[in-house]
């Protein structure tokens, strides 16, 4: 049973560039959340997608945007990259309608380095 | 303000010794509480969760945690650690009832567990 799959695993980008990160949720899950984890910090909530719509957004600028597809997979897009965007980006999925009540399943993350 | 505090950035424990990782939270309503573990290069794995009922909850890998409402704490314990327990541990809280459509988890900064042979 495949868990949450994220791609790519590592990425190096230059300041000002744009990046797209991808996430395939665990089979049977329909809700996808994205978190940013800076080095030495806990994850910070970016946003959550459910039924192809952004259901909730954390305190992140509009440079961070997302999308959810009909097959429940999701993309995180970051425009005009800053050095401070360097972090591990985690995708988490959960089962229908339960949000996090039964615990999210996390992917291994995408390590983004902005130089 | 909603927050989670893990007071210990690092903890070093000898293999076979007992472990307690501390977690304190500040939350306006009755929270749901979680402990996750993150091994190097890996995602976050759920160890255990507390929603209601018995305040002592059992999780995977021999871990347990106790919810103490009066102390706003949810400390993680293990009677005897193994070298494979070396990892970073995160405490997280979320709303017990999503009346305001709040689905996000608030996370502590993590405690890195180091095991001495």
**pLDDT (tens digit per residue) in B22-52:** 999 998 777 889 999 999 877 899 999 998 8
* Phi–psi pair at B69, nearest 5 degrees: -60, -40
Regions in chain B scoring below 50 on pLDDT: none
For an interface test with B, the pick among A10, A43, A57, A97 (most B C-beta atoms closer than 10 Å) comes out as A43
Give the β-pairing of B111-116 and B10-14. parallel
Predicted pLDDT of residue B1:
73
CB contacts of A109 in chain B (<8 Å) are 43
Nearest beta carbon to residue B107 from set A4, A43, A101 = A43
The residues facing B68 across adjacent strands are B73
CB nearest B104 (choices: A40, A42, A58): A58
Q: Which residue has the tokens 């002592």?
A: B56
Residue-wise pLDDT tens digits, A61-76: 999 999 999 999 999 9
Q: How far is A76 from chain B (nearest CA, A)?
A: 17
What is the model's pLDDT at position A2? 65
Tell me the average pLDDT of chain B. Answer: 90
Nearest CA in chain B to A45: B104
CB contact under 8 A, B109 and A40: yes
Do the Cβ atoms of B43 and A48 come within 8 Å? no
B chain contacts of residue A43, beta-carbon cutoff 8 Å: 44, 90, 105, 107
Which pLDDT score is estimated for A97? 59
* Cβ contacts of A75 within 8 Å, gap of 6 or more: A20, A21, A22, A23, A66, A67, A69
For position B97, what pLDDT does the model report? 60
Task: Answer yes or no: is pLDDT of A99 > 70.
Answer: no
pLDDT of residue A104: 83
């Amino acid at each position: 049973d495949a868990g949450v799959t994220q791609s790519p695993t590592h990425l190096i980008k230059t300041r000002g560039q744009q990046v797209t990160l991808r996430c395939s949720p665990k089979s049977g899950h329909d809700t996808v959340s994205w978190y940013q984890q800076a080095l030495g910090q806990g994850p910070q909530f970016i946003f959550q997608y459910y039924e192809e719509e952004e259901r909730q957004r954390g305190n992140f600028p509009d440079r961070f945007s997302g999308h959810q597809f009909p097959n429940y997979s999701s993309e995180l897009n970051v425009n005009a990259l800053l050095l401070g965007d360097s972090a591990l980006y985690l995708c988490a999925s959960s089962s229908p309608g339960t949000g996090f009540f039964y615990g999210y399943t996390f992917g291994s993350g995408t390590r983004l380095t902005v130089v | 303000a909603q927050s989670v505090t893990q007071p210990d950035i690092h903890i070093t424990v000898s293999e076979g010794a007992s472990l307690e990782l501390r977690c304190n939270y500040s939350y306006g309503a009755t929270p749901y509480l979680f402990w996750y573990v993150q091994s190097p290069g890996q995602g976050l794995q759920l160890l255990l969760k507390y929603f209601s009922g018995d305040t002592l909850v059992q999780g995977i890998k021999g871990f347990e945690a106790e919810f103490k409402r009066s102390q706003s704490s949810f400390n993680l314990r293990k009677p005897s650690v193994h070298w494979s327990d070396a990892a970073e541990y995160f405490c997280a809280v979320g709303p017990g009832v999503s009346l305001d459509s709040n689905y996000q988890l608030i996370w502590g900064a993590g405690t890195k567990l180091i095991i001495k042979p």
